[in-house]
Amino acid sequence: MATLVKIAAIAVASWMVAGCSGFELGKAERMAASGSTFDKGLYDGYLKLSKNEFTEGDYKDSDHFARSAMAASDGNASGPQEIGSRKLPAGRVDDLTGARTRLVAALDSQAAQDLPDQAANAQVMFDCWMQEQEENFQPKDIEACRGAFDAAMNELDARNLALAEAEKAKMAKVAPAPAAVMAKEEMRFVVYFDTNKASIGEAASAVLAEAEAAAKKLGASSVLVLGNTDTVGKDDYNVGLSERRADAVAKELITKGIAGAAIKLEARGASDLAVPTAAQVDEPKNRRVEIIVKP
C-alpha cells in the first residue's frame, strides 16, 4: 500500500510539473500592482479570473489570466484577446468580433482615461467572455461575463456621448445653429440622409436651395461637397455610400443653377464623424453631406 501511495504521489507531482498546476497564480499573487489606475484594475481583474479558474481545476486558463495579471502589474498589459486566439463556436464569432471592435474604440477614447476602472473591467470581462465561450458548457458563466462587459461598456459609451454633447454645446456658443453657419470667408450647409440611402428628400432639397442662393450671393469660386456616413457597415462600402450621397447633392446643386465646374466632391466614408461613436453605431447626424460655399 505504501508503495502505491508513493507511486501516486510521484504521478501527481509529475503532472503538476508538466505545467497543469496553475503555478503562475502564485507568482501573480506575490506581485504588487503598480502603474496607472487602469493597469491596477487589469491586475486585480485578471488575478480574480485566475483564482476562479484554478478553483474550477482549469489550470491552463488560470495560468493564462495570471500571466495577464503579471503583465498588467508591470505596466505592460496587452489589449483584449484577439478573436483568433480562442476556438470559438462559429455562431458566436460575429458577436464577439463586434464586441471587441466596440471595446477597442472605447479604450482609445477619452472615456477610458476618465473612467479607468470601468475600462479595465470591460477588457477583463471581454477576456472572461472569450474564455467561457470557448469552453461553451457553462451558460450562466458566459452570461455573467458578457453582462459585466456590457455594463462597463455602457458606462464608457455614456461618457463618450456626454463628451460629444459637451463639445457640441461648446461649438454652439461659437457658431449659430441654423443650417447655414457663417464663417469668415465661407458658408456651410448640412444635408442629412436616411440609413443606407443617398436620395434627396424635401428637407434636403430645401437646404440645397439655401446653399444655391448663398453661392450666387457670394459669387462662389468653389463649392465643396463632402459625403459622410455613420460607422455601420464595412469601410469600403461606406466610402462608396458617401460618394453616392455627395454625387446626389452635386447633381441637385447643378440642377438648381450652380456651375458643375465649381463643385468639388470628396467621399470620406466614416472617417470624419460629426458625433464620435464606436463601430457599427447607427447615428443620424453622421449620415450627412456637408456643403462649403467659398467666395
Structural domain total, the chain: 2
Residue 197 dihedral angles phi and psi, to the nearest 5°: -120, 155
Give yes or no: residues 139 and 254 share one domain. Answer: no
Task: Give the predicted TM-score (pTM) of the model.
Answer: 0.55
| b (16+ CB within 10 A) / e for 257-291 | ebeeebbebebbbbeebbbbbbbebebeebbbbbb
Asked if residue 176 is part of any domain, the answer here is no
Give yes or no: residues 208 and 128 share one domain. Answer: no
For the ranges 54-58, 219-223, 239-243, 249-253, the lowest mean pLDDT is seen at 219-223
pLDDT of 9 over the 50 cut = no
Q: What is the pLDDT of residue 244?
A: 96
Give yes or no: residues 238 and 287 share one domain. Answer: yes
pLDDT of 175 over the 70 cut = no
Q: Residue with C-alpha cell 488575478? A: 47
Query: If 0-12 CB within 10 Å is exposed, 13-18 middle and 19+ buried, where does residue 12 land?
Result: exposed
Is residue 249 within 8 Å of residue 208, measured between CB atoms?
Answer: yes
CA angle 176, 224, 275 (to 5 degrees): 50
CA angle 178, 179, 181 (to 5 degrees): 75
- Please choose, from the candidates 63, 75, 1, 3, the residue with its C-alpha nearest in 3D space to the C-alpha of residue 32: 75
Give yes or no: residues 44 and 126 share one domain. Answer: yes
- The mean pLDDT value of the chain amounts to 86
CA dihedral for 218, 219, 222, 223, sign (positive or negative): positive
3 state SS of 215 = helix
Q: Which residues contact 77 (CB under 8 A, 6 or more apart)?
A: 39, 42, 68, 71
Give yes or no: residues 35 and 91 share one domain. Answer: yes
Give yes or no: residues 97 and 43 share one domain. Answer: yes
Q: What is the pLDDT of residue 193?
A: 94
Integer CA distances (angstroms), 175 to 138, 184, 203, in order: 55, 11, 22
- Please choose, from the candidates 175, 164, 282, 290, the residue with its C-alpha nearest in 3D space to the C-alpha of residue 226: 290
In angstroms, the CA 276 to CA 230 distance is 9
Q: Which range marks the domain in which residue 143 is found? A: 17-166
Give yes or no: residues 152 and 212 share one domain. Answer: no
pLDDT of 130 over the 60 cut = yes
Q: What is the pLDDT of residues 211-226, one digit of tens each?
A: 988 888 888 889 999 9
Give yes or no: residues 188 and 101 share one domain. Answer: no
Q: Which domain CATH number covers 211? A: 3.30.1330.60
pLDDT of 3 over the 90 cut = no
Give yes or no: residues 155 and 185 share one domain. Answer: no
In angstroms, the CA 207 to CA 291 distance is 10
pLDDT of 256 over the 80 cut = yes
Domain boundary among 166, 189, 219: 166
Asked if residue 81 is part of any domain, the answer here is yes
pLDDT of 21 over the 60 cut = no
Asked if residue 57 is part of any domain, the answer here is yes
Give yes or no: residues 70 and 132 share one domain. Answer: yes
Q: What is the pLDDT of residue 185?
A: 66
Give yes or no: residues 272 and 140 share one domain. Answer: no
